[in-house]
Amino acid sequence: MPSIVRNHGPHNKILLSALLLALFGWVPLASAAVAVPMDSTGPYRTVSHPENAPSGVDAGVGPSEWTHAYANPAHNAAFPVPDDAPEWIRNGVSWLFPEARAWPLANPPFGSKTYGAAEASVTQTQFYGNALGPSVVDGVVYAESDDMFAYAVNAKTGKLIWRASPVGNNLMGNPLVIGNTVYLSAGSVAFNFANVLRYAHNPSASARGLNVSFNGIYALNRSNGKLLWYFATPGETMATPAYDNNTLFIADGAGNAFGINATTGKQVWKTHVGGMDNMSSVTAYRHNIYFAMAIKPYLYCLNESNGHIVWKGTIPGASNTGIGDVSPAAADGVVVLDATTKPQANKKAMFSNVIRAFDAKTGAVLWTRNMGSGGKIPAFKGGVPMIHNNIVYVGNPVASTYQAYELKTGKLLWTWHVPTKVAAGAGRSAPTYYKGLLYITTGQYIFVVNPATGKELHQHHIGGQFGIESPVIVGGTVYLTNSWDWIMAIPLKTISHGS
Amino acid sequence: MPSIVRNHGPHNKILLSALLLALFGWVPLASAAVAVPMDSTGPYRTVSHPENAPSGVDAGVGPSEWTHAYANPAHNAAFPVPDDAPEWIRNGVSWLFPEARAWPLANPPFGSKTYGAAEASVTQTQFYGNALGPSVVDGVVYAESDDMFAYAVNAKTGKLIWRASPVGNNLMGNPLVIGNTVYLSAGSVAFNFANVLRYAHNPSASARGLNVSFNGIYALNRSNGKLLWYFATPGETMATPAYDNNTLFIADGAGNAFGINATTGKQVWKTHVGGMDNMSSVTAYRHNIYFAMAIKPYLYCLNESNGHIVWKGTIPGASNTGIGDVSPAAADGVVVLDATTKPQANKKAMFSNVIRAFDAKTGAVLWTRNMGSGGKIPAFKGGVPMIHNNIVYVGNPVASTYQAYELKTGKLLWTWHVPTKVAAGAGRSAPTYYKGLLYITTGQYIFVVNPATGKELHQHHIGGQFGIESPVIVGGTVYLTNSWDWIMAIPLKTISHGS
């Protein structure tokens, strides 16, 4: 795009841009189907390498769509492949893709000297790295990052297919992939000063992310990353939407829940429930949706088709940020959520995490368990639950443990103490159950744990840091993203056999 | 950089990165002199076009250094050129350079439908556009933007010389240029949740920008934009540092003021005064430095060499964000500052801006004037004062006026009401006095006003929006940046003769 433009100040009423357009037929900016602030030749332009896309059988590897954060309502991102699947996915591939703000995996957190390691690692996650794990669909790995870019990478070769940055905000979600569209959710952890003052005056009047850059859902063309449409929300949408029946469901930092037509991007319904959705990605299950809000600490069940509140539940004593972080898991007619509860008056600042199971249909409380306590930790304070075969596997970062509970009764089966020290606490990500083994990413490691006993079998050091990123297993390969802004593929056998 | 990496899981203790380095001698990341999180082949890499740099006489056009926001302690960014200066700068050039998140000048603010025009224009300024005007040194225009990039552009041709994004944060300052170094200051308007909670508990315990990405001063090689060093601060440094005697002076959002060696980037001194510096860029004047802090609403005078507090003053009734926004102007032994004061109990939410002059040496109050009131406006609530020839020229966005006061007595000489409606209020930027005319950028216009009478002479419509960006005049060209993320050159005659 020519940047030498000679125009000698037309009558001031003819706007400069209109003149440029008339004189040069030059549309200086984003040539996406829909206009967003972007120089179409600048660093945020969409870059596309169709030559790197998978073809033939490789383009059929893995699931054919991605409808939720952590892949599905039960949060188990595990995908066996058929025996005749390509050898590379069965045997496992290995590559490392540096995203835009990648930091060497061996390095301590950037900014540790100024913030201290615990806070610096959280900051690096929230503003530079990946908050959630990747999606893997039809031979392509999709990731969205707090470096403000989304990526499509060939699952076999690790080569970039496209990169896009339709909005100048952090992308904390897990890209949904349905049909020929990839959906991103934009939102930052931040508050502007006006909402700091509102919070001080009346927390319920404050909105997270309001006027902090621009928020909402951005829909991209799956083959080239071009922007198709965006649905703007007032509050942040750090959380990932859920998809069902041509509708996306999301809740924002300003207390709103939305149903959005997944094809047109038009609003289907909007329900204001109040509070703030921090990172509680929506779960769509049996025609209802579930998400949790902070400040007004409730787990909500809304009717998918009209957004009406079916029921709402809570976790007794949930701290003001606790309950809006975790995404509820749903399976076998049960919805499970955990949250950090405020320290009891008698106890020196010891936080306890509590897990509660609800009847998915009625909201009746089935059971409630105290998961264990510990000192204050920064940022995300819960563990994302995963349900497999009537058992809930869930971490607890205040105690740095993982536990297993019977889904229907809440009976505690085992507790595993994460052996390696994580400055900000270990135990945020949802485990992944695959072929009789439990894979857990936390701190600098991926661990293999016996799901029946909770005994650790292996640990594999990666470096960098894993926060709420869960491992995605497709056949013989584990796909990962992390806080140091890398997308990775590692052969499963490297991990499951110990190394 | 090859992203297909075949490594089949070495023993887990050998870190993946160390292996890559050993196997491929591949340093995957930023190859800057100092490491920051960045993929050296990715979108944030430094891009350099030495062929576009000025040469010969063109490389001598304009000032030879830039030591302050708004060019100097008096905030008058006006630079006549000698008669034998190149014709193009005397006659004036015209070009438009789209920065990374450029938005068509004719468009209303992006996000107006979600935020409303006033708030959306502020958000676009704070997260996409330029908060302050450019610097022009030796034939090059330097700008830093909230699109997270800094730019060096040829002042004659408008062609990119280099572009850099050493940190994933907004760059709200006015680049300083001294010797072969360009200094940027990184910081965002945002608070993270922990500091929202601290503010609600005790505003003085809260820090703006703490753990909101990474803050501080980033020093770049002036010829190619490569990072030389960075000085990290806990709080945001939205404001621009000042330079004097090989030292940079900056105050952050966590109540700290720093003296930093401009060559090495090492700390010379640090003084914690408390409160928050929002956008109050430091002024270095007669061996002292001046800046204002919000929350603990004071104007500080510190000794340049050791950071000791010489005096502190305030503006009666300053609202908690009011006094930390404006950069004090200094000239003729006087320091001037204005701030928004809280509405009097009797008055329906009417804010008044108050201006006060202090003896630069002793802090004695010389005079105080009420500049006029108006309704609540978003974000930056003051006007940046400019002193020329013993007169203070200053805007007042709550009343959308500009005024002139005698520097020594505070006598009000005139009040000019900005004729065009600006949703977020007009009157934030410092005027520029050049050859008997006053140039004022506000809203979508640049106005020409008679400095003696306050009568408007001409107006030139640009589009987009000007907030606190002041016009920089070098010979026959006005250099501008704006909230729609453009750098512009416009012949002065187009504006001063009316069009």
| Residues of B in Cβ contact (< 8 Å) with A193 | 189, 191, 208, 278, 321, 379
Rounded distance between C-alpha atoms, residue B452 and residue B456, angstroms: 11
Task: Locate the chain B residue with the closest alpha carbon to A493.
Answer: B9
pLDDT recorded at residue B9: 30
Tokens representing B73 are: 């302690």
Q: What is the pLDDT of residue A366?
A: 98
Per-residue DSSP letter, B107: S
What is the tens place of the pLDDT at every residue in A133-156? 999 999 999 999 999 999 999 999
pLDDT of A230 over the 80 cut? yes
Vertex A130 angle, CA B214 and A382, to 5°: 95
Residue A90: how many CB atoms within 10 A of its CB? 18
| Per-residue pLDDT at A24 | 36
Indicate whether A88 belongs to any domain: yes
In whole angstroms, give the CA distance from residue A122 to residue A180. 33
- Of the candidates B162, B185, B165, the one whose C-alpha atom is nearest the C-alpha of residue B175 is B185
Closest approach of A195 to chain B, Cα-based (Å): 9
In a domain, B451, yes or no: yes
Please, which pLDDT band fits residue A106 given cuts at 50, 70 and 90?
very high
pLDDT at position B15 over 60: no
Cβ neighbors of B186 (< 8 A, separation 6 or more) are B167, B169, B170, B171, B213, B214, B215, B216, B217, B218, B236, B237
- Residues in chain B with CB shorter than 8 Å from the CB of A12 are 459-461, 499
How many CA atoms does the CB half-sphere of A203 hold within 13 Å? 17
Domain-embedded: residue A32 = no
Are B107 and A35 an interchain contact pair (Cβ–Cβ within 8 Å)? yes
Mean pLDDT, to the nearest integer, of A62-79? 98
DSSP code of residue B344: P
SS3 of B408-464: the string is CCCCEEEEEECCCCCCCCCCCCCCEEECCEEEEEEEEEEEEECCCCCCEEEEEEEEE
Across the range A284-289, mean pLDDT stands at: 98
Mean pLDDT of A178-202: 97
**A177 lies in which domain range?**
45-494
Name which of A3, A9, A495 is nearest B95 (Cβ-Cβ).
A3
Between these two residues, B293 and B422, which has the higher pLDDT value? B293
Closest CB from B5, B36, B157 relative to A94: B5
CATH for B358: 2.130.10.10
Exposed, middle or buried: residue A223 (CB in 10 Å: 0-12, 13-18, 19+)? middle
Tens digit of each residue's pLDDT (9 = 90 or more) over B459-471: 999 999 998 999 9
Over residues A294-310, the pLDDT tens digits come to 998 999 999 999 999 99
A121 vs B29, residue with greater confidence: A121
Q: Which residue has the higher pLDDT, A377 or A258?
A: A258
The reply to whether A6 falls in a domain is: no
Predicted confidence at residue B290, as pLDDT, reads 98
Give the integer Cα–Cα distance in Å for B440 and B454.
Answer: 11
Q: What is the pLDDT at residue A323? A: 85
Of A30-44, B126-140, B279-293, B299-313, minimum mean pLDDT range: A30-44
pLDDT of amino acid B391: 98
Contacts of B161 in chain A (CB under 8 A): none
Summarize the confidence of residues A223-230 as an average pLDDT: 98
Report chain A residues whose CB lies below 8 A from the CB of B212. Answer: 123, 127, 189-190
User: Is residue B347 pLDDT above 60, yes or no?
Assistant: no
| Set of chain A residues whose Cβ sits within 8 Å of the Cβ of B94 | 5-9
Please check whether residue B328 lies inside any domain of the structure: yes
> How many CB atoms are closer than 10 A to CB B452?
12
Q: Which residue has the higher pLDDT, B348 or A163?
A: A163
Which strands make up the sheet holding A283-285, listed edge to edge? A283-285, A288-293, A298-303, A309-313
DSSP labels for A218-277? EEEETTT--EEEEEEESS---SPPEEETTEEEEE-TTSEEEEEETTT--EEEEEE--SB-
Q: Distance (Å, rounded) from C-alpha B17 to C-alpha A385?
A: 31
Residue B409 C-alpha, separation from nearest chain A C-alpha, in angstroms: 35
Contacts of A376 in chain B (CB under 8 A): none
For testing contact with chain A, the best of B31, B127, B154 (most A CBs within 10 A): B127
Contact B197, A203 (CB under 8 A): no
Chain A residue nearest residue B7, CA to CA: A94
Least-confidence region, from A192-206, A290-304, A319-333: A319-333
Place B345 in a pLDDT band, splitting at 50, 70 and 90: low
- Taking the CA of residue B474 as centre, how many other CA atoms within 13 Å lie in the half-sphere pointing to its CB? 29
The answer to whether A312 and A264 have CB atoms below 8 angstroms apart is no
In-domain check, residue B24: no
* Mean per-residue pLDDT, A314-321: 85
**Is residue A31 very low, low, confident or very high in pLDDT (cuts 50, 70, 90)?**
very low
Q: What angle do CA A431, A436, A439 make, to 5 degrees?
A: 25
- Contact residues on chain A for B4, CB-CB shorter than 8 A: 95, 157-159
The angle at the Cα of A448, spanning A443 to A454, to the nearest 5 degrees, equals 100
Is the pLDDT assigned to residue A486 strictly greater than 80?
A: yes
What integer pLDDT is reported at residue A371 of this predicted model?
A: 96
CA dist., res. B380 & res. B368, Å (int): 21
Question: By C-alpha distance, which of A278, A168, A340, A398 is closest to B213?
Answer: A168
Q: How far is B98 from chain A (nearest CA, A)?
A: 6
Question: Which one of B16, B122, B236, B351 would you mutate to disrupt binding with A, by most A Cβ within 10 Å of its Cβ?
Answer: B16
Least confident range from B25-39, B168-182, B202-216, B449-463: namely: B25-39
Q: What is the mean pLDDT of residues A22-40?
A: 60
Measured between CA atoms, how close is A52 to chain B, in angstroms?
Answer: 11
* pLDDT at B3 exceeding the cut of 50: no
Half-sphere exposure of A373 (CA within 13 A, CB side): 11
CB B464 within 8 A of CB B442: no
Model pLDDT for residues B40-62, shown as the tens digit of each residue:
999 999 999 999 999 999 999 99
Q: How far apart are CA B36 and CA A109, in angstroms?
A: 11
**Burial zone of A361 (CB within 10 Å; 0-12 exposed, 13-18 middle, 19+ buried):** middle
Tell me the chain A residues in contact with residue B192 when contact means C-beta distances shorter than 8 Å. Answer: 126, 189-191
Whether residue A19 has pLDDT greater than 80: no
CB A337 within 8 A of CB A385: yes
pLDDT beyond 90 at B378: no
User: Is residue B377 predicted with pLDDT exceeding 90?
Assistant: no
pLDDT of amino acid A216: 98
What average pLDDT does range A428-440 have in this prediction?
A: 97
* CB pair distance less than 8 Å for B7 and A499: no
pLDDT tens by residue, B383-415: 999 999 999 999 999 999 999 999 999 999 999
Residues B423-433: what's their mean pLDDT? 92
**Average pLDDT, integer, range A348-356:** 86
Q: Give chain B's domain count.
A: 1
User: What values do phi and psi take at B94, rounded to 5?
Assistant: -135, 115
Q: Cβ–Cβ of B44/A43 closer than 8 Å?
A: yes
Is A15's CB within 8 Å of B212's CB? no
Is residue A10 scored above 60 in pLDDT? no
Residues of B in contact with A190 (CB under 8 A): 188, 190-192, 212
Do residues B267 and B258 lie in contact, with contact meaning Cβ atoms separated by under 8 Å? Answer: yes
Which residue's structure tokens are 């990666």? A462
Average pLDDT over residues A100-120: 95
Report if residue A420 sits inside a domain. Answer: yes
Angle at A435 between CA A433 and CA A437, to 5 degrees: 55
Q: A428 CA to chain B: closest CA distance, Å? A: 18
Set of chain A residues whose Cβ sits within 8 Å of the Cβ of B115: 210-211, 234
Cα separation of A51 and B183, whole Å?
A: 41
Q: Is the dihedral of CA A317, A319, A324, A328 positive or negative?
A: negative
Token pair of A215 as six digits: 């928020």
- CB B196 to CB A199 under 8 A? yes
The H-assigned helical ranges of B52-142 are 87-91, 112-115, 117-127
Q: Are A58 and A86 in contact (CB under 8 A)?
A: yes
The pLDDT > 90 percentage for chain A reads 85
Angstrom distances, CA of residue A92 to CA of A30, A87, A460, B40: 39, 8, 16, 28
Given this model, what pLDDT does residue A13 score? 35
pLDDT tens track for B122-139? 999 999 999 999 999 999
Determine the residue type at A107. N
Find the angle CA(A433)-CA(A437)-CA(A441) to the nearest 5 degrees. 65
At B35 the pLDDT is 93
pTM value is 0.93
Average predicted confidence (pLDDT) for chain B: 92
Interface test with B, best of A52, A146, A214, A465 (most B CBs within 10 A): A214
Nearest CA in chain A to B459: A12
What is the distance between the alpha carbons of residues A416 and A419, in angstroms, rounded to a whole number? Answer: 9
CB contact under 8 A, B234 and A461: no
Strand order in the sheet with A486-491: A78-79, A472-474, A477-481, A486-491, A95-98
Spell out which residues of chain A touch residue B127, defining contact as CB-CB under 8 Å: 168-169, 212-214
For chain B, report the end-to-end CA distance as a whole number of angstroms.
52
How far apart are the two ends of chain A, measured CA to CA in Å? 51
Mean pLDDT of A26-45: 74
* Strand pairing class (A472-474; A78-79): parallel
| Mean pLDDT, range B306-313, rounded to an integer | 98
Between CA B230 and CA B219 the distance in angstroms is 6
Residue that is written with structure tokens 């000048």 in the block: B105
Residue B152 domain-assigned?
yes
pLDDT above 90 coverage of chain B, percent: 85
Report pLDDT for A318: 87
Is there a contact between B98 and A499 if contact means CB atoms under 8 Å apart?
A: no
- Percent pLDDT > 70 in chain A is 92
Give yes or no for residue B13 having a pLDDT over 50: no
What is residue B487's three-state secondary structure? Answer: strand
Q: Do B6 and A206 touch (CB under 8 A)?
A: no
Task: Identify whether the C-beta of residue B482 lies closer than 8 Å to the C-beta of residue B442.
Answer: no
Are A276 and A207 spatial neighbours (Cβ–Cβ below 8 Å)? yes
CB within 8 A of B221, min separation 6: which ones? B180, B181, B182, B227, B228
